Amino acid sequence: MDGAMRNMLLIFFATLFAAMAGAQTAPGFPISVISNLGVLYASTNKTVTPGIVLPQQDLANAPVFYLPSGALTNGTYTMIMIDQDVLQNNARTTFLHWFQPNLVASPGGPLVVQPNAANASTAPGAPYITPSPPAGSGFHNYNFVLFAQTQNFTVPALYASIDPPVDGSARIGFNITDFVAQSGLGSPVAANYMRVINATGTALTSTANASPTANTSLTSTPSVTSTPSNGAGGRTYDGLRVFYLSELTASAGIFIVCLWMA
């Protein structure tokens, strides 16, 4: 391999490596954030790390959030949770699982709702809906994005139906970039995401915050019976190999070293 070609490949894979290492939202999600949002399902002691696969039965109760280091501890924030892999007419679309404004940092603890916070909004938000991907729909990516809540933030009329009372259909096809632009939300501060698959064929019901339930698929797909098992290099669900982001970035790094030595 000549020097020019090697340098071009090094630049390409170094850029890919950096992007993968810094990604806090799932591939294909329209918002990219560098800072990691702390997400903890406290009732089951499950911590979300980017791309982790979590069992749906551990996600029934809403998680709590922690600001990344360097974020303003006296700011007001809005959190949006989206499933980007809902099936509708044989195509993927989005589903709003949670919209929570008026979040503030608590001393030494997670973010909490404070209706009287600076820049507080009168919007009640949309209650948490438990991740419950239907059997056969494969992995669903669930993104958590935390935004700075600005003084002029308001829920646009086009999205008024996401506020309670609301049924699941009102949350399908939620366009987060359009919502952010129209609502006056500030920049994304931090994010995280997890992957969930229905390994039992049974949809869960949610009891958190008296929230509704949603079987987030509007069309049938070929059945996939999946039994999770751990192993080196990711997890296997009946032959479907899942690699964590950290493993992919490590592979990219090894490839760069090999190119350099070539």
CA–CA distance, 214 with 205 (Å, rounded to integer): 8
* DSSP-derived secondary structure letter, 62: P
pLDDT value at 33 more than 90: yes
pLDDT class for 146, splitting at 50, 70, 90? very high
pLDDT value at 15 more than 90: no
- The gap between the terminal CA atoms of the chain, to the nearest Å, is 7
When mean pLDDT is compared across 62-71, 166-175, 234-243, the lowest value belongs to 234-243
Report the candidate in 92, 93, 90, 83 with the shortest Cα–Cα distance to residue 128. Answer: 83
Q: Which residues pair with 237 in a beta bridge?
A: 228, 240
Q: What is the mean pLDDT of residues 95-114?
A: 95
Tell me, yes or no, whether 251 lies in a domain: no
Determine the structural domain holding residue 100 and report its residue range. 25-241
3-class secondary structure, 237: strand
More confident of the two residues 12 and 237: 12
Give φ, ψ of 180 to 5 degrees: -60, -45
Tell me, yes or no, whether 73 lies in a domain: yes
Q: What is the mean pLDDT of residues 223-241?
A: 31
Tell me, yes or no, whether 177 lies in a domain: yes
pLDDT value at 1 more than 80: no
Tell me, yes or no, whether 261 lies in a domain: no
3-class secondary structure, 195: strand
pLDDT value at 28 more than 50: yes
pLDDT, tens digit (0-9, with 9 covering 90-100), for 183-213: 999 999 999 999 999 877 665 543 333 333 3
For 71-106, b where at least 16 C-beta lie within 10 A, e where not — what string?
beeebbbbbbbbbbbbbeeeeebbbbbbbbbbbbbe
Tell me, yes or no, whether 174 lies in a domain: yes
Q: What is the pTM of this model?
A: 0.72
Q: Which residues pair with 77 in a beta bridge?
A: 103, 148
Q: What is the mean pLDDT of residues 151-158?
A: 91
Tell me, yes or no, whether 163 lies in a domain: yes
Mean pLDDT of the chain: 77
More confident of the two residues 261 and 184: 184
More confident of the two residues 178 and 23: 178
Q: What is the mean pLDDT of residues 214-229?
A: 34
Residue 200's identity, in one-letter code, is: T
Question: Domain holding 29: CATH number?
Answer: 3.90.280.10
- Integer CA distances (angstroms), 139 to 54, 107, 131, 197, in order: 10, 36, 11, 5
CA–CA distance, 84 with 227 (Å, rounded to integer): 23
| Other CB atoms within 10 Å distance of the CB of residue 224 | 18
Q: Structural domain tally of the chain?
A: 1
Sheet containing 228-231: which strands, arranged edge to edge?
A: 228-231, 234-237, 240-242
Tell me, yes or no, whether 49 lies in a domain: yes
- Burial level of 115, CB count in 10 A (0-12/13-18/19+)? exposed
Predicted local confidence at residue 164, as pLDDT: 67
3-class secondary structure, 217: strand
CA–CA distance, 191 with 127 (Å, rounded to integer): 19
Tell me, yes or no, whether 17 lies in a domain: no
Q: Most confidently modeled of 2-11, 168-177, 235-244, 249-258?
A: 168-177
Asked whether the CA dihedral 9, 141, 87, 157 is positive or negative, the reply is: negative
- Residues 6 or more apart in contact with residue 259 via CB below 8 angstroms: 1, 6, 9, 10, 13
